[in-house]
C-alpha cells in the first residue's frame, strides 16, 4: 500500500471463489477487476500531468489531498481513497476466518466489551451509513480502537485515524449476492474477516 505513481492493481490475495457462499465469485470479479481497476486508472490519469506528486505515497495522497492543485484535488480524493479503501477491504478477508487473538483480542475486549459486542457495533455503524461509504475499525490518537464511518471513498486518514479493517457498503459490494439487503451482507462479511491480517495492521500501526 506504500506505492507511488504509477499505481498498479494489487492482485486479489485469494481465489475469486474463496469467500463463497458469503461473497460470490462474480461480485469479487467485478468489484476487484473492474471497480478497483477503475480507481487505479483514474488516479494515475489525474496525477500523470503533475510530476511533483509522483513520489507521493497512497497514504499521503489520501491524507493531504487538500494541498494538491484544485484541478486534481477532488479526483485524487475520490480515486486515491478508492484505491486505499479497496486494498484494505480485500486484504482483510479470507476463507474461514478465525476470531481475533492475542493483543488485538485483548484490546477489542477492552474497547468494546467483547468480540460479539464489537461485531454488533461495526454492523450497526455500517448499516446506518447513509448511501455509499465504509465502516472502519481504527486506532485513534490515544492508540485506542474505535469504529468510524466515511461517505463515498473518503478515508479516516485526514482525521489522523489509522484504519486497520474496513467494510465496503457501496451497493456494488453486495447487490449481486444480497440485492438491497445490506444487513445480510454484513452478517456474512463478519464470517470472512481475516483477523490475522487485521492484527498485523494493528501491530504495525501501534
Ligand atoms: Mn467497492
- pLDDT (tens digit per residue) in 38-48: 999 999 999 99
- pLDDT cut 70: percent of the chain above it: 99
161, 201 contact by CB (below 8 A) = no
The CA 31 to ligand 1 mean position distance, Å, reads 6
158-192 pLDDT, tens digit per residue, is 999 999 999 999 999 999 999 999 999 999 999 99
Model confidence at 2, pLDDT cuts 50, 70, 90, reads: low
Average pLDDT rounded to a whole number, residues 45-74: 98
The CA 86 to ligand 1 mean position distance, Å, reads 6
Average pLDDT rounded to a whole number, residues 91-99: 91
Average pLDDT rounded to a whole number, residues 130-149: 97
Kindly tell me if the per-residue pLDDT of 101 is higher than 80: yes
**Which DSSP symbol is given to 165?**
E
Average pLDDT rounded to a whole number, residues 70-83: 98
Task: State the helix-helix crossing angle for 70-91 and 37-47, rounded to 10 degrees.
Answer: 150
Residue 17, burial from CB neighbour count under 10 angstroms (0-12, 13-18, 19+)? middle
Cβ count within 10 A of residue 130:
8
The CA 174 to ligand 1 mean position distance, Å, reads 9
Please state the pTM of the whole predicted model.
0.97
C-alpha cell at 198: 487485521
The CA 106 to ligand 1 mean position distance, Å, reads 30
**Which DSSP symbol is given to 33?**
I
Model confidence at 128, pLDDT cuts 50, 70, 90, reads: very high
What percent helix, strand, coil does the chain show, rounded to 5? 55, 10, 35
CB atoms within 5 A of ion ligand 1 belong to 168, 170
The CA 114 to ligand 1 mean position distance, Å, reads 28
Q: What is the per-residue pLDDT for 96? A: 81
Q: What is the per-residue pLDDT for 3? A: 82
The CA 37 to ligand 1 mean position distance, Å, reads 11
The CA 102 to ligand 1 mean position distance, Å, reads 30
Q: What is the per-residue pLDDT for 49? A: 98
Determine the Cα–Cα distance for residues 102 and 196; give it in Å rounded to an integer: 10
- Quote the mean pLDDT of the chain: 96
Model confidence at 97, pLDDT cuts 50, 70, 90, reads: confident
Enumerate helices (H) and strands (E) in the chain, giving the number of each: 9, 3
* Closest CA relative to residue 35, chosen from 95, 90, 92, 77: 90
Q: What is the per-residue pLDDT for 44? A: 98
Amino acid at each position: 500500500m506504500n506505492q507511488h505513481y504509477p499505481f498498479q492493481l494489487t492482485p486479489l490475495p485469494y481465489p475469486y471463489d474463496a469467500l463463497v457462499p458469503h461473497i460470490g465469485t462474480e461480485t469479487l470479479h467485478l468489484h476487484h477487476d473492474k471497480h478497483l481497476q477503475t480507481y487505479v486508472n483514474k488516479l494515475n490519469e489525474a496525477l500523470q500531468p503533475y510530476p511533483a506528486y509522483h513520489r507521493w505515497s497512497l497514504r499521503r495522497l489520501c491524507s493531504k489531498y487538500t494541498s494538491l492543485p484544485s484541478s486534481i484535488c477532488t479526483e485524487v480524493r475520490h480515486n486515491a481513497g478508492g484505491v486505499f479503501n479497496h486494498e484494505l477491504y480485500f486484504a482483510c478477508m479470507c476463507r474461514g476466518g478465525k476470531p481475533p487473538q492475542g493483543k488485538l483480542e485483548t484490546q477489542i475486549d477492552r474497547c468494546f466489551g467483547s468480540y460479539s459486542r464489537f461485531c454488533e457495533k461495526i454492523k450497526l455503524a455500517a448499516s446506518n451509513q447513509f448511501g455509499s461509504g465504509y465502516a472502519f475499525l481504527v486506532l485513534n490518537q490515544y492508540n485506542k480502537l474505535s469504529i468510524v464511518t466515511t461517505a463515498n471513498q473518503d478515508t479516516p486518514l485526514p482525521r489522523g485515524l489509522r484504519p486497520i479493517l474496513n467494510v465496503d457498503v457501496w451497493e456494488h459490494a453486495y447487490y449481486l449476492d444480497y440485492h438491497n439487503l445490506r444487513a445480510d451482507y454484513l452478517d456474512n462479511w463478519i464470517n470472512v474477516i481475516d483477523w490475522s491480517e487485521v492484527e498485523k495492521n494493528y501491530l504495525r500501526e501501534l
